[in-house]
A = this chain, B = another copy of it.
């Protein structure tokens, strides 16, 4: 193949890879950098390599938790794949040993596990457990939350349901995201403790409304730090106060640790521990299998019993199979033996302090927030007004990629640079990023402002080939142009238009 100019690891030229994908993969499946996607042929640790052998520093693959192609994980998988891979209706040691090990990482009374194959399946099962236990479908979720792509998970995922696309069912209530920087209550007006109280009060109000209507709350579901909302770290005591209200109203509390679990926060195995709470149900996914399709739901014996008493068996063909369990065990052992939790704390602290040290020189960095290796940079055009620098963020992202660093954007305005790298991420990696940002932010700022004023071209460029909900939000963020102009080039702008009309966006600045 090398004679044809295609690198050894490649089987197709990049354009053929893309062409075949476009022909046969559902168009709803999008690519990073849609117009010029990255082709990756191999990866190792926190590095990925494209078809030309170019190295990229991976700052976003929290799924490859203990490093891409981690040797211990690969060996555990291969050994088990060649020995036995069957289902949990048979007895085998791996399931029992892994269930014990996983449960040992949780505080009492969380000691019972169910194995599934994706975060989405874990959410679905968590909701089923909660609903069986409380006999209530009523669920409270957070603004901007994302809990998975199956129907039941979408129903509690406002991130996927902007107005005009899909309405949430009447039994789902949405509480404001406890975002101290850009949410309903802000750090400019309130101290941290007060913010925790104010945001918890929002959930309490929903609970009261439900109970006054004669109903019982079924569940409160939230990531313990919100990823899709823009790397949101909750104010102190938020979850403690919220869990109290929910439980008083008869509900159970589901902590979604799919993005952030397994030691990423550095100080603990689970992000909920940073808030001093013990949930009733915890969902686990992504990092749990270092890329292998594995997920789990951990709960209390009492809730598991309620679920059992419905008389409906739970069986997942692949869930907790011997290979999945071998891989899951290898991931935990790797975190333990290499003390990656402590490493995440040290490197994460260094990342946050290094990024914050840039703030005096770069007003575009509106906020740096994070715990452990879960960090966000909120980019703004005006630090006082906190105007999201969406277009600048997009350009910065692309320039970083050109320089060999992969990051992603999130948050309601797609202006938050997300760091959730493999746990092997190093201080040297941090130094490289900090140096790069110092060089790139000034050039981005100029380009972006110039580009943006040439609208509507900039708007078209943002939205033309990817008319999904999140792009609608990109587009409405800069309220400079009237909606008519802003929306040109968008094939489906209902969500966008309705947000415009409702003034929803305007009120967030």
Chain B binder among A92-100, A341-349, A357-365: A92-100
Count of this chain's copies in the oligomeric assembly: 2
Known: A83-B42, A152-B151. A29 touches B311 (CB 8 A): no
Min CB gap A299→B, angstroms: 8
| Cβ contact within 8 Å between B307 and A26 | yes
Distance to closest chain B CB from A108 (angstroms): 13
Q: Mark A463-477, 1 if CB is under 8 A from B, else 0.
A: 000011110100000
Which of B12, B26, B32 makes the CB contact (< 8 A) with A113? B26
Q: Mark A39-59, 1 if CB is under 8 A from B, else 0.
A: 111110000100000000000
Given contacts A86-B64, A311-B492, A317-B118, contact A24 B112 (CB under 8 A): yes
**A489 in the interface, Cβ–Cβ < 8 Å?**
no
Is residue A136 contacting chain B, with contact meaning CB distance below 8 A?
no
Q: Tell me the complex Cα distance, A168–B412, Å.
A: 36
A118 contacts B119, CB within 8 Å?
Answer: no
Q: A30-B313, A121-B117 are in contact. Are A84 and B293 (CB under 8 A)?
A: no
Residue in contact with A77 in the complex, picked from B20, B25, B81, B160, CB distance below 8 Å:
B81
**Contact, CB under 8 Å: A69 / B86:** no
- Which chain B residues lie closer than 8 Å to A95 at the CB level? 21, 25
A73 and B97 alpha carbons, distance in the complex (Å): 26
- Of A9, A42, A90, A313, most B-chain CB atoms within 10 Å: A90
Set of chain B residues within 8 Å of A152, measured between Cβ atoms = 150-152
Please give the distance in Å from A130's CB to the nearest CB on chain B.
12
Check A11/B90 contact, CB under 8 A, given A124-B151, A317-B286, A492-B311. Answer: no
> Per-residue CB proximity of A277-288 to B under 8 Å, as 1/0?
000000001100
Tell me, in angstroms, the Cα distance from A116 to B307 when the chains sit together: 26
Contact B99 A37 (CB under 8 A): no
